Copies of this chain bind each other. A is one copy, B any other.
């Protein structure tokens, strides 16, 4: 067929959306045996912190996410008739749309709050009262707020599940779930039988564990699989204190080996997974950290290393890496939708609709 549209440069290709990530959900599906039983408990839990998860729940969540990702057309209606309250009191495109896309793909309806100033909270309503109302309006709440305590305040009155989608400097557990899902999608053999000859990997995190909620939540999640990580290296600016009281100890007690450095160039050549992040939310704005750390084509990355980035990217991650095989940050953002689909399906008591075998 001859194209009649005259501007050639407006054509686009609906090619496979995600080159590196696409093949891997199948690997994860094979590596993990389906056992929906572990997911049942998610139906009576709020999701506030990475601390809540254990190995079995995580593996089954990742497996379900992989199942969604491997065949996005398969499940269309598990959340039909369910209403999500998407409450983003702090600015966000990425996380809000990721959750809302996940919910819509499962067939549910959505009510959004995108601006605190348009709400009754502006009139002084307590978050506990807002939660009381939400019980009547929807089936699940996703909350982001700059105030660390908001999610816990609202939780008190809720009889429907709430997900913490970022509470100030504290946590962002579903981002950590998506991050770990990406790592296991990249190397499903890490989850295989013991003695299958797999060597643990080295994870490098450019960021500040006590100031970035994504880093805080990811570290807790990684600590559930200490055998998979030979060492975790924190790459940071030299000035500030980078750990909250007890934070490092909790990770070490879980069996994680942790090193810290301010010299990115010298450690990069040994890192398998590089996780970079330069922004921390604080109050109504954000602060940048580690602005002297930049990843680009000249960075001494291991040949097989992958790069991950949990947020909107700034100058710290050059787009000249986008077309290289180091780029797993796009796959990471894509996988987050499927991971959230898995979590939401469990929390809204609809897992039986997506399991191959149910009891």
Instruction: Decide yes or no whether A119 CB sits under 8 A from chain B.
Output: yes
Chain B residues within an 8 Å CB radius of A93: 113, 118-121, 125, 130, 133
Question: Is B313 touching A5 in the complex (CB atoms < 8 A)?
Answer: no
Q: Whole-angstrom distance between the alpha carbons of A54 and B128 in the complex?
A: 37
Question: Is A120 touching B137 in the complex (CB atoms < 8 A)?
Answer: no
Candidates B13, B138, B314; contact of A124 at CB < 8 Å: B314
Instruction: Decide yes or no whether A249 CB sits under 8 A from chain B.
Output: no
Candidates B1, B42, B311; contact of A41 at CB < 8 Å: B1
Instruction: Decide yes or no whether A293 CB sits under 8 A from chain B.
Output: no
Instruction: Decide yes or no whether A11 CB sits under 8 A from chain B.
Output: yes
Chain B residues within an 8 Å CB radius of A38: 4
**Given the interface contacts A93-B119, A155-B10, does A4 sit within 8 Å of B44 by beta carbon?**
no
Instruction: Decide yes or no whether A76 CB sits under 8 A from chain B.
Output: yes
Instruction: Decide yes or no whether A132 CB sits under 8 A from chain B.
Output: yes
Chain A to chain B: the 10 pairs with minimum beta-carbon distance, closest first: A125-B312, A101-B137, A120-B312, A93-B119, A5-B52, A104-B109, A4-B54, A93-B120, A136-B334, A10-B46
Binding site for B on A (CB under 8 A): 1, 3-7, 10-15, 17-18, 37-38, 40-42, 44-49, 51-54, 56-57, 76, 81, 83, 85, 88, 91-94, 97-98, 100-101, 104-105, 109-115, 117-126, 128-130, 132-138, 155, 158-161, 279, 286, 311-314, 319, 330, 333-334, 336-337
